[in-house]
Structure 1
Amino acid sequence: MSDPRPDSPRAIVDRRALATRIADLVAEKGASKARPEVVVLLKQALEDGRSELADRLLAAPGAGHDIASDNAYLIDQLLRVVHDHVVHDVLPQDEEIRDAVDSEERFAIMAVGGYGRAEMAPHSDVDIAFIAPRADAPWCAKAIEAILYFLWDLGLTVGQSIRTPKETVQLAKDDLTIRTALLEARFVWGDRAIYEDVRRRFWAEVVHGSEKTYVAEKLAERSARHERMGDSRYVVEPNVKEGKGGLRDLQTLYWIGKYIHRVRHGVDLIEAGLFRPSEYRQFRRAENFFWAVRCHLHTITDRNEDRLTFDVQREVAARMNFADRPGKSAVERFMQYYFMQAKRVGALTGVFLAQLDEQFRGAPRRGLLATFRQRKRELRGYTVYGGKIDAPTDDWFRKDPQRLIEIFQLAIDNGLEVHPAAMRRAARDAGLVRELRDDPRANAMFLDILTHRDRPDIVLRWMNDTGVFGRFVPDFGRVNAQMQFDMYHHYTVDEHTIRAIGLLARIEAGELQRDHPRARELIEQLANRRVLYVAVLLHDIAKGRGGDHSQLGAEIAEELCPRFGMDEEEAELVAWLVREHLLMSRTAFKRDLADPRTIEDFAGDVLTLERLRLLTVLTVVDIRAVGPGTWNDWKRQLIGSLYELTEQRLRLGHQKHGRRSSVSRRKSAVGELLGARHPLVEYPGETLPDSYWIAEPADVIAENLASLAASELGDIAISCRPDPERGATLATVIAPDHPGLFYRIAGGINAAGGNIIDARIHTTDKGVALDNFLLQDPNGQPMGERDQLERLRENIEDALSPEGDPLEPQLARKPQTQWRAEAFDVRPRVLFDNKASKRLTVIEVVAQDRPALLYRLGRALFRAGLVVHSAHVATYGERAADVFYVTDEDGAKVKDKDRLRAIEQALLEASRPKELEAA
């Protein structure tokens, strides 16, 4: 026999040749003794088949459908070989058994679920149903058990069921998952008559009459899945199978179409009236792409992995032949294409459901509601019914392109949804909106939508889904579906922006009063709220172009604002906000707010109270819209402190007066918290500098004062408690101040498994150090278990003990968590600033975040003869920015260039990605 062609099915697996080799082994040794060698043959066939498919995938990296189908073919052939071997060789073949087999002991093997669709990734579960004619069938039970043992020996993950036809039909009636699995059922091997009986009864007894119920249940299931997976198709580590806009959403459409119209193939959705040919081509293109991605994922990870995590995105992008372009890396281009496909799936879903709704509405009604029809009404020429606004004719937008924006304005003004049929037409005709970019009325309508008080994000997302948004504002179109390859940003740029606009509207409406009382108050004080909304829209609009996106975005704002109908003063203010939208967060998180120069410099940049209010609100919504958990009480406190201190500086114009006022207010707040112990505010409070009262929140100060009063000079006091509001654990250390104290505490925290997210270092006038650390476990959660807190306290105590073991070998022996940050290449750098503080040198180290980084940096500073006065830890996903305010041992700034170069080299060495070494 000649070798099979490279692209033929037999190049994947040659079932007949495999069966012949197994038959020869059985003939030579008998079925029982040949079993180990049979398993080896089957394993080799599976391995060779997967290797062949992996080669085909590399040769044609976008052939998702073909590879998915070929994987199912490989399993089909192996399952058939195993079945025949078990039935003919493994089970006893005496006369009695043969007679039984010929009469009743028969069974069918059905592929169900994805395997039933003949679509599988390399490591997908093998979902099969064994259907036997009756429950008490011992021969069937033995045969099925033997088949399953072979499949398990092959290392396959098998989802199996063993049922009679009657049980199968009854369970399908009661269980949505089983019903859907059977909807995909496909005959693999065995007795076809049993399979056909089940299929006939399934359609007649389960499906018939339950169509509407099935659709409602599948859509509810889809919504629950979306919520579970983050309810956005733009999360930057998407699940290819289960995520919003992924494979499961496409499959849901096919399931519904098949259930309602009995379609056998996806292309039949066209004849069923649910898709146009062009839309079905989009369906197939997206499905093919997702299958290719999923197959690459399984091949790279060598397991059933459907989440497109950062550590594999680069490799998938390379395998699928995406290349770098100016301003955009290969992985960012790949992920942008991914999100464009996910977006298209969302649009197709809307079209599909709209057509389905029309078909259901057009179906004959029965009973009391038979004569009821929902009344339609007209709104400025549009048709409104069922809470949705629709275009009355197919050429509605072509006759007047202004309607492409008008329909969304009418929707938001009247609390309506845009009908999916209108969305379909708008998507088709979206290109016409280009001619309206300089049209005053169109721009006025767009600005009205953007600044609307009733959830403008929903309508902007509809506009984005149709492509109208990106074509009307082409700079926004450039960031459509654009991801940033980092661990900090959870969403694509367009999704982040629309979420920020939605948050702003909710804060203004008072919905988030508890979370953002200050922002709510500041919005009410603004002289021009639309400046803020436009600034939020444009703050990230220049990302992905290379260069400073803030500066480039400001230039775009200067061009766009006049087009939107804003005057010169508004345009200038929007441009400033876009240019400086990171200024407040950088200052709050990286600078010492207790240092007078910090406030002086920040106030000098802001200049006016109106700018301060605008920038504060913009900063809040920008951070919160990054993703879940990014905004917390600690950041709220830092932003709030910076606002208050700057507001005083701008309003009073006298820094000292403002500091005294801030300290006085903070002492009053602490006194209220202490109650009967309020005298502690003045004693030992008198020993603490003003910077302490400005830097620390009132509740932390109250705890600190109680601990300080209870401690004796020369003693070490350590307290650790979870702080759910700040999403961290607060560790407070009171100890005699001495060089190296900071890095030793940091090492103790790291040795206990804690990651420091902020550090506040204070010294009383009696030489007692009072240091507060906020920390989290490796998963970004507070350390709250009793044994965790005790281990933390003990490790800090050991680190401060003169006779304790050196920390370096301790940390080197400690198993390090496999950080997701390892997927990124962050080049470490060190920045010195002798202008940011009047008496201290500010050192900023940007490096890849990793366990014990702060300890290593602190140790390097100690060995360089520097005294750390405060440390500020800002983490942006995989990137850490640790800022230290230092002096030399004589209390002076560090200015000597040679010494600065030596310090820089020491810090770069400390931040390099290598394991700790014993000293």
Structure 2
Amino acid sequence: MSPPPIGHAPDAAANAGWAGWAASARESLAEGQAALAVRFDAGGDIDRLLASRIMAVDRQVLTAWRMCVPEGAGLSLFAVGGYGRGELFPHSDIDLLVMAEPEVQAAHEDALSRFFTSLWDAGLPVGHAVRSIAQCSEAAAADVTVMTSLIESRPLDADDDARQALEAAVAPGRVWSAREFFEAKRNELRERHARHGDTSDNLEPNLKEGPGGLRDVQTLHWMALRIIGTSDLESLVSAGQLGADEAESLDRERINLSRLRYGLHLVAGKREERLRFDYQKRLAERLGYVDTDGSLAVEQMMQGFYRSASLVQRIGERLMQRFEEQIEGEPIPQPIDALFELRRGYLAARDAGWPRQPAEVFDLFATWAARGDVRGLHSQTARALAEALPELPDFVAATPALHVRFLQLLRGPEPVKTLTRMARLGVLGRWIPAFARVSGRMQFDLFHVYTVDQHTLAVLKNLSIFASGEHDERFTLAREVWPRLRKPELLLLAGLFHDIGKGRGGDHSELGADDARVFCGAIGLSAIDAALVEWLVRKHLLMSTTAQKQDITDPEIIHRFATEVGDRERLDHLYLLTCADIAGTSPKLWNAWKDRLLADLYTATRLALRRGLEHPLAAAERAVETREAAHAMLAAFGTGDREIESLFSRMPEAAFRRGRPDQLAWQAGALRGVATGDTRVRARPVAAHAGAMEVFVHSPDRDGLFAAIVATLDRIGLAIQQARVLDGPEGTIFDSFEVIPSDPRHIPAAEEIEQRLEAALAGNLDEIKPPRRAQPRHLRHFRIVPQVAFDDTAGGRTQASLVCTDRPGLLADVTRVLRHQGLRVHDARIATFGERAEDLFQVTAVDADGHDQPLDEPHQQALKEALLACLEGDA
């Protein structure tokens, strides 16, 4: 069907013509998009693909314009924004400006309406504005975003007079001077970065808006247009604003990011800027990445993105500094010493030929660390440093003098800030090549939310918090332990190397320990010091796995752990490294119970080492010590000896072997006034940890009681971290639960927990069922094949272990299965590592006489099948 005549009145025939054109245009654009996708998959040049998309859209936009707007109407059409810039991705918006005086706008209002409607009908996502020249100035002056859109306008159907009029309307002498525009866009960039956590190293980064993303490249382009008058990279090199190497790097990373964004639009089938888990694997496959022994395809793709984003940020910081100097004028240098000076607060080398030897690079970081008034590194010095990196030797090839300089940095002021700066500027990767290999390296899971290098820096930052001596309520003992360290720099080295072996296809702890040994030997550490660093790297997971997966109230477990640790120095270092490591893995991973577990394990191990490994503490001795300590606590609050012993007689003996004195004194107090057949629930907050609670339940035992408690806690909004299930005298249960809020925004009060649990347990337990919740989106991409295993060495009980994908309500569902199998739960340890749940339960079956028995083979098989059936819905 042919289009209606130009400017034709909107009768039925015309409407039919426009509809036919829109359908034809939609089909043409879709065919063109498909052809471009084929070219993209074949590795076609991204800039040519973007230009081809622009040309295809231009054709349809101009056709619609000429169909709807009569020639000589006095209307001018411009492409603005990304469309004006000539950068149009598969599902990007089409931003248009129609410029005309108000009376002309009014005269052609219907024509413009038909024009925009036709474009939408053709499948083009159009954003538009209709303004006069004066209105363009007013809108630009009021909103820097409008201003930004207009400075990269491209005439589609406009004469030179209209083009010049628009340029004049937004000229620096009229709106947004170069200084004002620069400051506004720089603030905009900082605020945007802050919204994304000031890091590009997110699990699901935003390719466009995130730090180091394409918006950063565009911001530099806009600043250059306003300040220099051009954004062409060659022109910026000629103007002295960019080095040739910087221009080449910036353009290369823009191309890499553009290719990622183009592919993301294709994979998502819509405008999508966030590299979500839903698309990462498919995009990596589409871009040609393949899995290797040491690295998944998706991890390789993401490492490429993180490195591109890091380089864009690095060059962007330099260029913005140069723009600032272009506006402010050359600063007056303030000499520091023979090598360095301050220029407007930025640290700069005084010698244009700096660095003339590698030692001067370490001198730079030493000077930086010694002064608290440095805003950052001057752009010229940063560029000189980048150019000198290929000549900087690694630690193997370095001279002994350089080794000494590096150790001085570790022992000097602000060593963690120094290491962070060295990492960000590429020096640490040159000095330690293994660190360069893990820079930007992500792990495709939910446990590690940072790249390996950023995680390492986060661990070091946590160590610096311990070193500061400042109170941090997250860590109970760290501030006390740090001063005991003989040489703190050894712990920093262990933190630096603990994950450096990742991505090589072997045990990263072993590989990292080997690297640490070589490094420590090369830089001249003593054999004793080198051995400590190597051991810490090799065993950096020992304390966390012991605390989270074993019963650290068992004296045998403590003795075994203490034997492996060997001495107090190793224990002090390992405790601090473990706290820093867990807290640096994910902001959500560290909580009150991990703090308490590690503190308890540290304290118990320290006592075992003090007692001597040749004198292990027996369970009976521990029970006596704990009982006496709890007795003293109750007596201190005025409770008489007779009442204390009466309360203790109602508690299981196992509680004294496995509990803490303060916990037992609290539980004993809760039993006051409680008859044997009564239910008593008590909850108390864990000091200094918002939302963390300890819940105690004393009740007559009934089938399904444990499952009912778990389901009720789940309904209240509490996630169980650990459960201790003990049988009390006269058919009672004596259960303890360590819980944290499932949603930190909603923290139930202790009174609410007590009332709701008591009310639930007073009713029919069969009616208490776990709530049904949808699986979170991100968990769908991290399916773990469920594993169920059994161990019969738990002293008359069977230990059932479950590894599977975590999800809301998992524990409640599992305990319901245990109930339906007729099993009794005697202990439970709940551990979650990102998307991975690792839960342990000590269970027994009940024989005909009501006695507990370990599970025989048929019972184990039946339980395994029931658990796997319960988890099938997680697939």
TM-score, normalisation: structure 2: 0.87
Which residue type is aligned with residue 181 of structure 1? Answer: S
Using the TM superposition, give the Cα deviation of residue 297 of structure 1 relative to its aligned residue in structure 2, in angstroms: 1.7
Using the TM superposition, give the Cα deviation of residue 440 of structure 1 relative to its aligned residue in structure 2, in angstroms: 2.1
Q: Which moved more, 1:300-309 or 1:541-550?
A: 300-309
Distance verdict in 2 for CA 1:644–1:443, change over 3 Å: same
Using the TM superposition, give the Cα deviation of residue 229 of structure 1 relative to its aligned residue in structure 2, in angstroms: 0.2
Using the TM superposition, give the Cα deviation of residue 682 of structure 1 relative to its aligned residue in structure 2, in angstroms: 7.0
Q: What corresponds to 2:187 in structure 1? A: 220
2:157 and 2:633 map into 1 onto residues whose CA distance is 77
Is the CA contact (8 Å cut-off) linking 2:713 and 2:757 kept in structure 1?
no
Q: What corresponds to 1:406 in structure 2? A: 363
1:290 and 1:737 map into 2 onto residues whose CA distance is 62
Q: What corresponds to 1:111 in structure 2? A: 79
Q: What corresponds to 2:340 in structure 1? A: 382
SS at match of 1:222: helix
Q: What corresponds to 2:61 in structure 1? A: 79
Q: What corresponds to 2:512 in structure 1? A: 553
Using the TM superposition, give the Cα deviation of residue 528 of structure 1 relative to its aligned residue in structure 2, in angstroms: 2.6
Using the TM superposition, give the Cα deviation of residue 345 of structure 1 relative to its aligned residue in structure 2, in angstroms: 0.9
Q: 1:141 aligns with which of 100, 105, 109?
A: 109
Matched, 1:449 2:449: no
Q: Which moved more, 1:137-146 or 1:525-534?
A: 137-146
Q: What corresponds to 2:651 in structure 1? A: 688
Taking the TM superposition and a 5 Å limit, the aligned residue runs for 1:170-185 are 170-185=138-153
SS at match of 1:544: coil
Q: Which moved more, 1:743-752 or 1:637-646?
A: 743-752
Which residue type is aligned with residue 56 of structure 1? Answer: R
Is the CA contact (8 Å cut-off) linking 1:132 and 1:194 kept in structure 2?
no
Taking the TM superposition and a 5 Å limit, the aligned residue runs for 1:162-311 are 162-189=130-157, 193-206=161-174, 210-263=177-230, 265-311=232-278
1:45 and 1:776 map into 2 onto residues whose CA distance is 56
1:879 and 1:29 map into 2 onto residues whose CA distance is 63
Is the CA contact (8 Å cut-off) linking 2:78 and 2:156 kept in structure 1?
yes
1:675 and 1:386 map into 2 onto residues whose CA distance is 67
Distance verdict in 2 for CA 1:794–1:893, change over 3 Å: closer
Is the CA contact (8 Å cut-off) linking 1:828 and 1:911 kept in structure 2?
no
Is the CA contact (8 Å cut-off) linking 1:233 and 1:342 kept in structure 2?
yes
TM-score, normalisation: structure 1: 0.84
Taking the TM superposition and a 5 Å limit, the aligned residue runs for 1:460-475 are 460-475=419-434
Using the TM superposition, give the Cα deviation of residue 428 of structure 1 relative to its aligned residue in structure 2, in angstroms: 1.6
Using the TM superposition, give the Cα deviation of residue 240 of structure 1 relative to its aligned residue in structure 2, in angstroms: 0.7
1:680 and 1:418 map into 2 onto residues whose CA distance is 69
Is the CA contact (8 Å cut-off) linking 1:829 and 1:845 kept in structure 2?
yes
1:909 and 1:501 map into 2 onto residues whose CA distance is 41
Distance verdict in 2 for CA 1:640–1:166, change over 3 Å: same
Is the CA contact (8 Å cut-off) linking 1:390 and 1:419 kept in structure 2?
yes
Matched, 1:130 2:87: no
Is the CA contact (8 Å cut-off) linking 1:402 and 1:433 kept in structure 2?
no
Q: 2:803 aligns with which of 809, 834, 846?
A: 846
Using the TM superposition, give the Cα deviation of residue 72 of structure 1 relative to its aligned residue in structure 2, in angstroms: 3.8
Taking the TM superposition and a 5 Å limit, the aligned residue runs for 1:757-906 are 757-773=721-737, 780-781=743-744, 783-784=746-747, 793=756, 797=760, 801-802=764-765, 804=767, 807=769, 814=772, 816-832=774-790, 841-862=798-819, 866-889=823-846, 894=854, 898=857, 902=861, 905-906=864-865
1:34 and 1:453 map into 2 onto residues whose CA distance is 76
Taking the TM superposition and a 5 Å limit, the aligned residue runs for 1:412-561 are 412-415=369-372, 416=374, 417-434=376-393, 437=396, 438-454=398-414, 456-561=415-520
2:4 and 2:630 map into 1 onto residues whose CA distance is 85
Is the CA contact (8 Å cut-off) linking 1:451 and 1:533 kept in structure 2?
no
Matched, 1:343 2:343: no
Q: What corresponds to 2:36 in structure 1? A: 53
Distance verdict in 2 for CA 1:182–1:714, change over 3 Å: farther
Q: 1:609 aligns with which of 554, 562, 568?
A: 568
Distance verdict in 2 for CA 1:678–1:292, change over 3 Å: farther
SS at match of 2:97: strand
Matched, 1:67 2:49: yes
Is the CA contact (8 Å cut-off) linking 1:688 and 1:765 kept in structure 2?
yes
SS at match of 2:528: helix
Is the CA contact (8 Å cut-off) linking 1:54 and 1:299 kept in structure 2?
yes
1:285 and 1:31 map into 2 onto residues whose CA distance is 49
SS at match of 2:815: helix
SS at match of 1:85: helix
Matched, 1:392 2:366: no
Matched, 1:317 2:284: yes
Distance verdict in 2 for CA 1:358–1:670, change over 3 Å: farther
Distance verdict in 2 for CA 1:527–1:264, change over 3 Å: closer
Distance verdict in 2 for CA 1:817–1:679, change over 3 Å: farther
Using the TM superposition, give the Cα deviation of residue 383 of structure 1 relative to its aligned residue in structure 2, in angstroms: 3.8
Equivalent residues, number: 862
2:103 and 2:676 map into 1 onto residues whose CA distance is 81
Is the CA contact (8 Å cut-off) linking 2:7 and 2:67 kept in structure 1?
no
Aligned identity (percent) is: 30
Is the CA contact (8 Å cut-off) linking 1:680 and 1:705 kept in structure 2?
no
Cα deviation, 1:687-736, whole Å, max 9, x if unaligned, reads 33476578778998788667655765545567899989355677765543
1:122 and 1:675 map into 2 onto residues whose CA distance is 76
Is the CA contact (8 Å cut-off) linking 2:80 and 2:153 kept in structure 1?
yes
1:578 and 1:669 map into 2 onto residues whose CA distance is 40
Distance verdict in 2 for CA 1:338–1:204, change over 3 Å: closer
2:739 and 2:119 map into 1 onto residues whose CA distance is 48
Is the CA contact (8 Å cut-off) linking 2:698 and 2:733 kept in structure 1?
yes
Cα deviation, 1:146-188, whole Å, max 9, x if unaligned, reads 3343444456554433332212212322322222222222223
2:657 and 2:185 map into 1 onto residues whose CA distance is 55
Using the TM superposition, give the Cα deviation of residue 232 of structure 1 relative to its aligned residue in structure 2, in angstroms: 1.5
Q: Which moved more, 1:536-545 or 1:346-355?
A: 346-355
Q: Which moved more, 1:387-396 or 1:531-540?
A: 387-396
Is the CA contact (8 Å cut-off) linking 2:817 and 2:867 kept in structure 1?
no
Distance verdict in 2 for CA 1:573–1:138, change over 3 Å: same
Is the CA contact (8 Å cut-off) linking 1:728 and 1:783 kept in structure 2?
no
Is the CA contact (8 Å cut-off) linking 1:722 and 1:783 kept in structure 2?
no
SS at match of 1:396: coil
Distance verdict in 2 for CA 1:390–1:477, change over 3 Å: same
SS at match of 1:129: strand
1:42 and 1:245 map into 2 onto residues whose CA distance is 36
Is the CA contact (8 Å cut-off) linking 2:677 and 2:699 kept in structure 1?
yes
Using the TM superposition, give the Cα deviation of residue 618 of structure 1 relative to its aligned residue in structure 2, in angstroms: 0.6
Is the CA contact (8 Å cut-off) linking 1:867 and 1:888 kept in structure 2?
yes
Using the TM superposition, give the Cα deviation of residue 446 of structure 1 relative to its aligned residue in structure 2, in angstroms: 1.8
1:218 and 1:620 map into 2 onto residues whose CA distance is 40
Q: Which moved more, 1:791-800 or 1:321-330?
A: 791-800
Q: Which moved more, 1:141-150 or 1:222-231?
A: 141-150
Q: What corresponds to 1:30 in structure 2? A: 13
SS at match of 2:363: helix
2:227 and 2:756 map into 1 onto residues whose CA distance is 63
Is the CA contact (8 Å cut-off) linking 1:430 and 1:471 kept in structure 2?
yes
Taking the TM superposition and a 5 Å limit, the aligned residue runs for 1:636-651 are 636-651=595-610
Distance verdict in 2 for CA 1:915–1:569, change over 3 Å: closer
**Structure 2 regions of 5+ residues with no counterpart?**
none
